[in-house]
């Protein structure tokens, strides 16, 4: 299996982000996953621009930015300038989804669309050929450390079927509650990218935990 591992910095040690970033650089992690929350779209606030600038100084891998914010179109160029390689916005936050996707891709970033647990993958049918990544939330967005929602497996299988049926090649990313217990089944169902936060950073040996996820 060749799944990508994207540790979520939301669960990192905010008092020593440089140390955790350097650990990820040395590890088998493929991407850095950065959750941006505004306290409106989700009931939490996370990284601001100054913190992101600091993180970027210490990242040597792809920066996967997940916007959990209202009106994400306003900030597309901001995150491009900050160094994002992939910019994911929520389907539920975009009034004109196709226009948002095109605006992201025009900057040179990859465009991702995230779906909350209650949102059907069928709603993406008309935009699948324009999307580089679909992020399925396997917990309710806003906080780390939540339990995995079991229905996610069915959503992954359905999305994988749509990908094959439409002959598209977007990546399927899973965000929330990912661990070594469910990772193998997620990949077998069609997932390509596994986001894990607390499972990695709260483990006794985060580097080994990343390796375990990478090599399931």
How high is the pLDDT of residue 43? 80
How far apart (Å, rounded) are the C-alpha atoms in residues 140 and 158?
20
SS3 14: helix
How high is the pLDDT of residue 167? 96
Rounded to whole angstroms, what are the CA distances from 135 to 26, 79, 128, 205? 25, 18, 12, 27
Contacts of 151 (CB under 8 A, 6+ apart): 117
Task: Please identify which of the residues 35, 64, 132, 212 carries the catalytic annotation.
Answer: 35
DSSP-derived secondary structure letter, 74: G
How many Cα atoms within 13 Å fall on the side-chain side of residue 175?
36
Contacts of 145 (CB under 8 A, 6+ apart): 11, 197, 198
How many Cα atoms within 13 Å fall on the side-chain side of residue 23?
19
DSSP-derived secondary structure letter, 178: -
How far apart (Å, rounded) are the C-alpha atoms in residues 13 and 201?
8
Model's pTM, two decimal places? 0.95
Q: Identify whether the C-beta of residue 179 lies closer than 8 Å to the C-beta of residue 196.
A: yes
Q: Identify whether the C-beta of residue 107 lies closer than 8 Å to the C-beta of residue 77.
A: yes
Q: Identify whether the C-beta of residue 194 lies closer than 8 Å to the C-beta of residue 185.
A: no
pLDDT along the chain (216 residues), means of 10: 91 90 97 93 82 89 96 96 97 96 98 97 96 96 76 98 96 96 97 96 97 96
How far apart (Å, rounded) are the C-alpha atoms in residues 138 and 136?
6
**CATH number corresponding to 4-214:** 3.20.20.70
**Residue spans per domain, the chain:** 4-214
> Known catalytic residue: 132?
no
Task: Please identify which of the residues 20, 30, 64, 175 carries the catalytic annotation.
Answer: 175
DSSP-derived secondary structure letter, 45: B
Tens-digit pLDDT profile for residues 39-93:
898 887 887 788 888 889 999 999 999 999 999 999 999 999 999 999 999 999 9
> Known catalytic residue: 35?
yes
């Amino acid at each position: 299996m060749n799944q990508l591992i994207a540790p979520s910095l939301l669960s990192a040690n905010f008092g020593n982000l440089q140390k955790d970033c350097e650990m990820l650089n040395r590890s088998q992690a493929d991407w850095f996953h950065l959750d941006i929350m505004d306290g409106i779209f989700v009931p939490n606030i996370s990284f601001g621009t100054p913190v992101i600038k600091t993180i970027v100084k210490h990242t040597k891998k792809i920066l996967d930015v997940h916007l959990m914010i209202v009106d994400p179109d306003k900030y597309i160029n901001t995150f491009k300038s900050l160094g994002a390689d992939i910019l994911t916005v929520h389907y539920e936050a975009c009034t004109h989804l196709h226009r948002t996707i095109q605006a992201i891709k025009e900057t040179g970033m990859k465009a991702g669309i995230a779906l909350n647990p209650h949102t059907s993958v069928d709603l993406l049918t008309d935009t699948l050929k324009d999307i580089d990544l679909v992020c399925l939330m396997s917990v309710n967005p806003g906080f780390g450390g939540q339990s995995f929602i079991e229905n996610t497996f069915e959503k992954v299988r359905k999305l994988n079927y749509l990908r094959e049926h439409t002959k598209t090649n977007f990546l399927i990313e899973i965000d929330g509650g990912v661990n070594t217990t469910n990772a193998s089944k997620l990949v077998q169902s069609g997932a390509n990218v596994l986001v894990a936060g607390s499972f990695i950073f709260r483990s006794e040996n985060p580097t080994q935990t990343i390796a375990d996820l990478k090599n399931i």
